[in-house]
Chain A
Amino acid sequence: MISLLLILFSALFFNGIIGRVKSISAGRKGPGIMQPVFDVCRLFRKGTVYSEVTGPVFKMAPAVYLASVLIACLCVPFGSKGGLISFNGDFVFFAYALALGKFFCIIGALDTGSSFEGMGASREATYSMLAEPAFFLILGSLALMSGHTSFQEIFANLHPSSPMSWALAVCAAYVFLVLAMVENSRMPVDDPKTHLELTMIHEVMVLDNSGIDLGLIFVTGYLKFAMYAALIADLFIGSLPIAIGIPVFLGVQVACAVVIGLNESFTARFRMNHNPQFIFTLACIALLSIFGVMLMSGKLV
């Protein structure tokens, strides 16, 4: 329960912090930290426009997308305190709940029949597919290290005490952070600020959504960021008491947002055909960590 509340709370500020970091580093005054929330409020007050060629799938997609991410958030524990949904192998459920939402988002985009949206959907599907092995491999190595298969038990038994678990926690933090960037279509994979449809990935897929639907998609994006950052925080909270755990959790959220903001300020995005390579490096890091854990625990030799 506490993790869900904290995720919802952080989601309010996450994108606002990224925006602040970007505008400060560009020397601009920039929007306030709550601007993303105001944007969503504005969208919720607006009507929704549906193209004549779209069907029920298109109307359903944003709600399913949000619901899937909310369900995934329920699985995220707070250190050793379990999430609302917790069972052995719940990380598989977590990954496929997210995939379900993405699937609906993609078929919703295809439902419009627009060449832009088809293009965006194909890109989004490709990159999600490439990102999946990294997620499972890194969770596999965490499970192997801790000897458990549910989020709660993994994190409860992973408190970084040995150098090996520190190394694994750092690797996992990097993989989760970049996964969050890929899944949310941020730099360096996609540029959320561009107005050029041809270079977009996620934005071009939701071009036809408006009003409340678009608001739901925005909310989902904020939640996803906070959710991945919560997983990173969990790596370091372990079985710490709540009074220390909460500041650590919030600190990790802010740190993630700042890192993403700095990255977006000072690098250019990749050429589209370099993205698969970049995403595969995540799987490679995850693969290395799983081998590392196997070696250390004597399972390999």
Chain B
Amino acid sequence: MNENILHITNGSCVKLAEIPVLAYDAFRATTLELLGDKARHCASYFAYPCNDDLKLMMCIADDSAHDILVYACEVEKGARLASAAADCLALERFEREIYENWGLEFEGHPWYKPVRNFFPDKYKFFEMEGEELHEVGVGPVHAGVIEPGHFRFICNGEDVLHLEIQLGWQHRGVEKLMLEKKRLIERVLLAEGIAGDTSVSHSTAFATVWESLCGYTPSEEVLWARTLAAELERMANHTGDLGAICGDVAYQLGAAVFGRLRTPIVNFSQRWCGNRLGKGNVRPAYAPYSFTEELKQQLLKDLAAYERDFLEMCDKIQHFPSVLSRLDRTGVVSTEQAESIGAVGMAAKCAGVCRDTRASHPYGLYSSLDVQPVVKTTGDVLARTELRIDEVKQSLAIVRKLLENMPAFDGKMQSAGTPEAESFAIALTEGWRGEICHCAITDADGELAAYKIKDPSFHNWMALALAVRGNEISDFPICNKSFNLSYCGHDL
């Protein structure tokens, strides 16, 4: 059956006609068979309207063969289909999303819990019966400056038996706006705003999709600038998270030092492109901000100062009993759990699942950089903390390597041209949280007919819900912070 499937590489564009269309039964069987292999996971699965009907599009990333398997299925509106999620948990949220957006029913789906369209007065939360059990509801309005999300715990005393996470409070309709807004700059700005802390990686995914739709190959320095910006983004966010983890265990020294160390990195971004989060730094077809020799010297100086303090502080928290006792064996995600929910990025790598787009589906300059993914096996908060530390060290090496081969920038504005008609393009990028997937489909006039965004948090929120089971409720904040998933990236 595999000959019926189209194999493409990351960042490529194909004509819609080349994508095989299967009958739903074959589509479902193929999906289940493909996902039976642990090297594959579902990168994106979505529906879009096509000639009065709906077309399901499945994109499965194969990490060992370094390609993406794409196939489709045409179904009528309002059809009732057999659920694949009943046999493969990783598809559960994708099917819920399709049901919510297009009304397709999946028979045998475990639970049609709302993904984004959540109405508190109509919804009944999961309940458990028991004399000793009590419920604690947290959010959507929180005490700190964090995004809205509702967490409902069912506890036995201090122990959490079950956590239900309800998101959707930040739904802005980004995918719809992508189609409505016709100017390229508007679309780039939308991509940057999908998740503000991941704006470089999301806008890189958008730019890659757009360039491949237009058949444009960006020049070396454009890819160089994107790679550098993405690694700086990773360093800044990981450092900030390490500070927040220290803050959550009330280790003031760590919180103060890591909090301070994030600043020079984001300030460098400000110096380079005028925005601390790297907004405006990635545009389709060209690099709007040249990287000069002066910037290079500044960055090398900043990194030297950063590295010294960073390594000292990391050494401290990795050997400090009172911090370790909070992190060790807290919020464990097992390898089986991570595989079954199709976790990506940090949530997968902390539990022994090697899933890093930079290595498995290299894009930009990563194919020449030979990134070896950092993988931890214990799946606890400590694993996610050490993963961040090691990834920052890795990013430092990558950034230094990039700076050695700095290309010349001409600073000229370029245009990618216009998208080809009836095409499909896909781009995977490794944001600091994990794999980001953008898919675009054009119609007969070369206009966008569908745009699908998938943030790593879409897979990984389930990992958090599983991680806190059996933990103390007072350890939830530290578990949550160790994942630091995106609310707006999920809610779109």
Q: B325 touching A274 by the CB < 8 A rule?
A: yes
Closest Cβ of chain B to A262, distance in Å, is: 10
B117 at the A interface (CB under 8 A): no
Q: B323 touching A268 by the CB < 8 A rule?
A: yes
- Neighbouring A residues of B253 by C-beta, 8 Å: 25-26, 265-266
Q: A268 touching B474 by the CB < 8 A rule?
A: no
> Looking at the complex, which of B73-81, B130-138, B356-364 is the stretch in contact with chain A?
B130-138
- Neighbouring B residues of A272 by C-beta, 8 Å: 158, 472, 474-475
Q: A273 touching B249 by the CB < 8 A rule?
A: no
Roughly how many angstroms separate A188 CA and B256 CA in the complex, as a whole number?
A: 18
Residue of A nearest to B157 (CB): A122
A196 at the B interface (CB under 8 A): yes
Q: Mark B38-58, 1 if CB is under 8 A from A, else 0.
A: 000000000000000000000
Roughly how many angstroms separate A26 CA and B259 CA in the complex, as a whole number?
A: 11
A199 at the B interface (CB under 8 A): yes
Q: A198 touching B476 by the CB < 8 A rule?
A: yes
Out of A116, A193, A267, which one reaches B136, CB within 8 Å?
Answer: A116
- Neighbouring A residues of B330 by C-beta, 8 Å: 271
| Residues 251-273 (chain B) with a chain A CB within 8 angstroms | 251-253, 255-256, 260
A88 at the B interface (CB under 8 A): no
Roughly how many angstroms separate A117 CA and B249 CA in the complex, as a whole number?
A: 21
Residue of B nearest to A275 (CB): B474
- Neighbouring B residues of A266 by C-beta, 8 Å: 252-253
| Residues 178-221 (chain A) with a chain B CB within 8 angstroms | 187-188, 191, 193-199
Q: B144 touching A270 by the CB < 8 A rule?
A: no
Residue of A nearest to B136 (CB): A115
Known contacts A28-B256, A269-B249, A273-B158; decide if A197 and B143 are in contact (CB<8 Å). Answer: yes
- Neighbouring A residues of B323 by C-beta, 8 Å: 268
Roughly how many angstroms separate A9 CA and B255 CA in the complex, as a whole number?
A: 33
B341 at the A interface (CB under 8 A): no
Roughly how many angstroms separate A155 CA and B414 CA in the complex, as a whole number?
A: 85
- Neighbouring B residues of A28 by C-beta, 8 Å: 256
Q: B260 touching A187 by the CB < 8 A rule?
A: no
Known contacts A195-B143, A199-B474; decide if A268 and B250 are in contact (CB<8 Å). Answer: yes
Known contacts A188-B322, A197-B143; decide if A22 and B474 are in contact (CB<8 Å). Answer: no
Residue of A nearest to B142 (CB): A195
Residue of B nearest to A274 (CB): B325
A119 at the B interface (CB under 8 A): yes
A264 at the B interface (CB under 8 A): yes
Roughly how many angstroms separate A119 CA and B138 CA in the complex, as a whole number?
A: 13
| Residues 8-35 (chain A) with a chain B CB within 8 angstroms | 22, 25-28
Q: A198 touching B473 by the CB < 8 A rule?
A: yes
Q: B256 touching A194 by the CB < 8 A rule?
A: no
Q: Mark B386-411, 1 if CB is under 8 A from A, else 0.
A: 00000000000000000000000000
Known contacts A270-B325, A271-B326, A272-B472; decide if A198 and B256 are in contact (CB<8 Å). Answer: no
Closest Cβ of chain B to A268, distance in Å, is: 4
Roughly how many angstroms separate A197 CA and B249 CA in the complex, as a whole number?
A: 13
- Neighbouring A residues of B325 by C-beta, 8 Å: 268, 270-271, 274
- Neighbouring A residues of B135 by C-beta, 8 Å: 115
Q: B158 touching A194 by the CB < 8 A rule?
A: no
Q: A268 touching B477 by the CB < 8 A rule?
A: no
Roughly how many angstroms separate A59 CA and B475 CA in the complex, as a whole number?
A: 32
Q: Which of B143, B260, B323 lies at the interface centre, i.e. has the most chain A CB atoms within 10 A of its CB?
A: B143
Known contacts A195-B144, A197-B138; decide if A271 and B475 are in contact (CB<8 Å). Answer: yes
Residue of A nearest to B473 (CB): A198
Roughly how many angstroms separate A214 CA and B472 CA in the complex, as a whole number?
A: 28
Q: B136 touching A119 by the CB < 8 A rule?
A: yes
Out of A198, A268, A270, which one reaches B138, CB within 8 Å?
Answer: A198
- Neighbouring A residues of B477 by C-beta, 8 Å: 194, 196, 198-199
Q: Mark B465-492, 1 if CB is under 8 A from A, else 0.
A: 0000000111111000000000000000
B447 at the A interface (CB under 8 A): no
Known contacts A268-B322, A274-B325; decide if A25 and B136 are in contact (CB<8 Å). Answer: no
Residue of A nearest to B323 (CB): A268
Q: A196 touching B251 by the CB < 8 A rule?
A: no
- Neighbouring A residues of B320 by C-beta, 8 Å: 268
Q: Mark B193-205, 1 if CB is under 8 A from A, else 0.
A: 0000000000000
Known contacts A268-B320, A271-B326; decide if A196 and B248 are in contact (CB<8 Å). Answer: yes
Roughly how many angstroms separate A194 CA and B477 CA in the complex, as a whole number?
A: 10
Roughly how many angstroms separate A25 CA and B475 CA in the complex, as a whole number?
A: 26
Q: Mark A207-242, 1 if CB is under 8 A from B, else 0.
A: 000000000000000000000000000000000000
- Neighbouring A residues of B248 by C-beta, 8 Å: 194, 196, 199
Q: Which of A26, A198, A268 lies at the interface centre, i.e. has the most chain B CB atoms within 10 A of its CB?
A: A268
Closest Cβ of chain A to B471, distance in Å, is: 10
Residue of B nearest to A191 (CB): B250
Q: Which of B137, B256, B323, B325 lies at the interface centre, i.e. has the most chain A CB atoms within 10 A of its CB?
A: B256
Q: Mark B158-183, 1 if CB is under 8 A from A, else 0.
A: 10000000000000000000000000
- Neighbouring B residues of A119 by C-beta, 8 Å: 136, 473
Residue of A nearest to B475 (CB): A271
Q: A187 touching B250 by the CB < 8 A rule?
A: yes
Roughly how many angstroms separate A271 CA and B330 CA in the complex, as a whole number?
A: 10
Roughly how many angstroms separate A27 CA and B255 CA in the complex, as a whole number?
A: 11
- Neighbouring A residues of B249 by C-beta, 8 Å: 268-269
| Residues 69-111 (chain B) with a chain A CB within 8 angstroms | none
| Residues 301-320 (chain B) with a chain A CB within 8 angstroms | 320
Roughly how many angstroms separate A25 CA and B251 CA in the complex, as a whole number?
A: 12
Roughly how many angstroms separate A26 CA and B475 CA in the complex, as a whole number?
A: 24
Closest Cβ of chain A to B69, distance in Å, is: 42
Closest Cβ of chain B to A120, distance in Å, is: 11
Q: B260 touching A269 by the CB < 8 A rule?
A: no
Out of B137, B246, B250, B472, which one reaches A273, CB within 8 Å?
Answer: B472
- Neighbouring B residues of A196 by C-beta, 8 Å: 143-144, 248, 477
- 17 intermolecular pairs with C-beta atoms under 8 Å apart: A22-B252, A26-B252, A26-B255, A115-B137, A116-B136, A188-B322, A194-B250, A196-B143, A196-B248, A197-B143, A198-B138, A199-B477, A265-B252, A268-B246, A268-B320, A271-B326, A271-B330
The 8 closest A-B pairs by CB, nearest first: A191-B250, A26-B256, A268-B251, A196-B477, A269-B250, A268-B249, A195-B143, A195-B144
Interface of B toward A, CB cutoff 8 Å:
134-138, 142-144, 158, 246, 248-253, 255-256, 260, 320, 322-323, 325-326, 330, 472-477
Interface of A toward B, CB cutoff 8 Å:
22, 25-28, 115-116, 118-119, 187-188, 191, 193-199, 264-274
Known: A26-B252, A266-B252, A268-B249. 11 other contacts (CB 8 A): A25-B252, A27-B260, A115-B134, A188-B322, A193-B252, A194-B250, A198-B474, A199-B477, A267-B251, A268-B325, A271-B326
